[in-house]
Amino acid sequence: MNFSMYISTLCLVAAALVYEDASAINIEEYASSSDCSSGGAPLKGSFSLNPTGPNSVWVSIDAHVDEELDSPLKAVVKIQRKVFWWWITMPCVSDYGSCTYQDMCQFLPPAYNGPPGSCPAPLQDLPSCQCPLRTGTYSVKSDIDIPSIKIPSWLISGNYWAQIKLYKNSREVGCNEIYFSV
């Protein structure tokens, strides 16, 4: 898993909110993120989600890293659901939901720390898939199958907002957010 895959993990976390009794993901429509980072942040990019069927989402990720980013790389994920007129923050449960990860690099497999082309498919053309994240352009497009779990649809249906902020020490190095409906 590299930074792009970590962003897709954010997508999966968001998608975990959409499981229904029929064990199908029903994101209502295409959703695209926006960059919310400060002007000098070295990481800029966006991602999109496009439902392709039950328990399947097409994820497209495009990012550019302007400076090498090494461990620890803190990730703060916030997911909110609109309930009536208010946005309610989803709790962090078993590392899913609105969670803080002290070092997202710990989720990246050390076996893939090599030159471009040494990463597994669909990441083989990335500058790196391990920390430190090398400078360069990261682009991943992949269909992701999401495992089925059962949660009542009435509990899941609604409008959502998700944001991920990355920090190196106390400096924000990147931010991305997305709105979607289930």
* Mean per-residue pLDDT pooled into runs of 10, the chain (182 residues): 44 41 52 86 89 82 91 93 93 90 80 59 74 86 76 77 93 92 78
Contacts of 59 by beta carbon, 8 Å cutoff, 6+ apart: 8, 11, 47, 48, 49, 140, 141, 142, 143, 144
| CA distance to 16, 24, 25, 30, 78, per residue, from 96 (Å) | 8, 18, 17, 22, 10
Are 129 and 2 in contact, with CB atoms under 8 Å apart?
Answer: yes
Can you give the pTM of this predicted structure?
A: 0.75
Q: What angle do CA 94, 100, 106 make, to 5 degrees?
A: 80
Give all domains of the chain, ordered by start, each with its CATH number: 3-181 (2.70.220.10)
Tell me what pLDDT residue 81 has. Answer: 93
Task: List the one residue out of 23, 13, 15, 38 whose CA is nearest residue 176.
Answer: 38
pLDDT at 86: 95
